[in-house]
Amino acid sequence: MVDIVTLTPNPAIDLSTSVERLVPSRKLRCAAQKRDPGGGGINVARVVQRLGGNVEAIFPAGGFTGKLLKLLLDEENVPNRIVEAVAETREDFSVSENATGEQFRFVLPGLPLAEHEWRGMLETLAATSPAPKIVIGSGSLPPGVPVDFYAQAAAVAKQLGAKFFLDTSGKPLTAALAQGVTLIKPNLREMQELAGRPLGCEKEWVDAARAHITAGQVEIVALSLGHLGALLVTKDEALRSPALPVTPVSTVGAGDSFLAAIAHRLAQGGSVADAFRLGLAAGSATLTVHGTQLCGPAEVERLYGQVIIEPI
C-alpha cells in the first residue's frame, strides 16, 4: 500500500555545478556536473523514500529530459506513474561560487501542458488503489494548467479519503485554500502575500496562520522562517523551533525535505509535534549537502535529537 502520493505538475532535471568565481564575459571552467530529478513533489517523494516511507510520484514527462527524469527516479528506487506529455521536461541549474560560498539558482519556465495532460494527472491520482493516506501537491504550475489545479487535486484527495498537503504560492495556493486542504507549507514571504500585509513578529505569524485555520481553509500551517527556524500552528497549539546550528551549503530542496519528513511521520501515525521535529531535522540536513542531493537518513537522525521545540 502506498501511504503518500505526490503530484508535480512542473517537474525538472536539476543540474548543479560549481566555479571558483562568477565573472561576466569570461569562459568559466566548471566542476563536473551532477543531475538529479527535481520539482517540488518529486523532491518530496525522494526524501520520503530515503526515510523508509511508502511513496509514489505522479508527474508529466516529455522528450529526452522526460525519459532521463524517469531513469534518475528509477535509480533512486522511487515508484512513479508518468503522464506522457508532448512538451520537453524542463531543466533547472544551480552554480556554487567556491570563492564566496554563494549559490546561484536559475529556474527555467516549464513548457505548456495540454488540457488532457494536466487532467491526466488528476485521473491518475483518482485511480490510486488502495487510496493513500496523504496526497501532496508541490511546486509551480506550468503554462496551460489552470490556477485551480491544486484545488481540483484537493477535491480528488477528499474523494479518496486522503489528506491533502500543499506547497505552492500565489493564486494556486489561494484557490486551494478556498477548496480546503489539510496542511500548507508557506515561507514568510508567501504567508505575507496571503495575509496581504507585512508580518513582523511571532504573534502576527501565529495570528495570520490561525485566520486560515479558523476560516476552515486548512488544519495545519507549517511556516518556514529561514535562519529564524520554523513555526507550526494548528487550532489548538503553536510550536516554534529555532534554526539548527548547521552551515548551509545549498538551499535546494530544504523546504521539500521539511515537508516530506512531516508527511512521512504523520503517515506513520506520529504526533504533529514529532512530525515537526523530524521535518526540521530533514530540512536542516538538506542544507548541508551540495547541489541537489537532498538529505540522507543518517544525518536526519543525528540532527533529530538536536531540535528544540517550544510551545507558544
Question: How far is CA 49 from each of CA 80, 183, 231, rounded to the nearest angstrom?
Answer: 12, 20, 25
Report, as residue numbers or ranges, the catalytic residues.
Answer: 256
Q: How far apart are the C-alpha atoms of 296 and 47, rounded to whole Å?
A: 8
| Cα atoms in the Cβ-side hemisphere of radius 13 Å centred on 37 | 28
Q: How far apart are the C-alpha atoms of 192 and 200, rounded to whole Å?
A: 9
Q: Which three cell numbers stand for residue 216?
A: 476552515
The CA-CA-CA angle for residues 66, 69, 70, to 5°, reads 95
Residue with cell 501515525: 269
Question: How far is CA 297 from each of CA 14, 56, 192, 290, rounded to the nearest angstrom?
Answer: 21, 19, 33, 16
Query: What is the 3-state composition of the chain as percent helix, strand, coil, each rounded to the nearest 5?
Result: 40, 20, 40
Q: Which three cell numbers stand for residue 181?
A: 486542504
Q: How far apart are the C-alpha atoms of 221 and 254, rounded to whole Å?
A: 17
